């Protein structure tokens, strides 16, 4: 007879707040159930209140890990991107979220970790470490990383310069990168406003790109950032 052994969860000695801010987080069925319900409610709200339209879902890989990049107009960007992902994969989708903002308090940490499944990204002090965590995430097949390469929400509605993080993450790798563009987010929920307005949203998903052919140099990183920025801009130029 095989002797039974009990192995407690690795985060058993952590407080609730520490568990929320830690990454990768340990799976918890209650959090999965809450997130699944929230995803269903979110899709209903986005479709009714914002009349969300999504084009290009066929460009999302059916399996394997990949990165979604999008312009950053408001907090609605992440929600729209999550609506584009199949419900069965929602627990494997990780939007990168600024740790200094989305994990700055218990309520924000709970919403970010449980409902959104956000990956804490330190923009100021531990950028390289955060990129390493992202790389490890993508090395595990089936994960989806959602990034906003501008680094912060726009204050004008215009597309900003893509920072080097996305280039450093995917240069010389086979990880597919899918450019996306959300139209209407800035009008619906501009930075500084507390409540989103009922404006129409339109998410366009482009064809996947790969940068396995590029050497890991600073010039290649710049090329990737420029290429992805242009791809997102081109998707936005088709807005009607």
What 3 state SS string does 28-97 have? CHHHHHHHHHHHHHHHHHHHHHCCCEEECHHHCCCCCCEEEEECCCCCHHHHHHHHCCCHHHHHHEEEEE
Dist. CA 10–CA 8, nearest whole Å: 6
pLDDT band at 5 (very low <50, low <70, confident <90, very high): low
Decide: pTM greater than 0.85: yes
Could you report the per-residue pLDDT of 93-127, keeping only the tens digit for each? Answer: 999 999 888 998 999 999 999 999 999 998 665 67
Q: Rounded CA gap, 89 and 61, in Å?
A: 12
pLDDT digits (tens, 9 = 90+) for 44-86: 999 999 999 999 999 999 999 999 999 999 999 999 999 999 9
Q: CA nearest 178: which of 90, 64, 76, 79?
A: 64
Instruction: Give residue 240's pLDDT.
Output: 54
Nearest-angstrom CA–CA distance, 232 and 218? 21
Q: Rounded mean pLDDT of 234-240?
A: 82
How confident is the model at residue 34, as a pLDDT? 96
On whether the CB atoms of residues 192 and 140 are closer than 8 A, the answer is no
Which structure tokens are listed for 101?
């903002």
Q: Six-digit token pair at 230?
A: 């242009």
């Amino acid at each position: 007879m095989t002797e039974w052994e009990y192995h407690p969860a690795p985060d058993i000695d952590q407080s609730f707040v520490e568990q929320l801010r830690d990454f990768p987080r340990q799976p918890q069925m209650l959090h999965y159930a809450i997130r699944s319900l929230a995803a269903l409610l979110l899709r209903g709200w986005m479709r009714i209140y914002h009349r969300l339209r999504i084009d290009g879902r066929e460009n999302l890989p059916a399996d394997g890990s990949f990165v979604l990049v999008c312009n950053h107009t408001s907090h609605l960007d992440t929600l729209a991107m999550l609506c584009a992902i199949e419900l069965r994969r929602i627990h494997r989708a990780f939007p990168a979220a600024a740790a200094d903002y989305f994990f700055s308090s218990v309520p924000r940490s709970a919403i970010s970790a449980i409902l959104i499944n956000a990956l804490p990204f330190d923009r100021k002090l531990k950028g390289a470490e955060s990129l390493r965590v992202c790389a490890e995430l993508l090395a595990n097949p089936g994960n989806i990383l959602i990034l906003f390469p501008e680094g912060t929400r726009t204050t004008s509605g215009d597309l900003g310069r893509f920072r080097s993080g996305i280039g450093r993450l995917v240069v010389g790798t086979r990880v597919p990168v899918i450019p996306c563009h959300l139209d209407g987010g800035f009008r619906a929920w501009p930075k500084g406003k507390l409540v989103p307005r009922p404006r129409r949203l339109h998410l366009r998903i482009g064809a996947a790109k790969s940068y396995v052919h590029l050497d890991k140099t600073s010039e290649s990183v710049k090329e990737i950032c420029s290429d992805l920025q242009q791809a997102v801009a081109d998707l936005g130029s088709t807005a009607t």
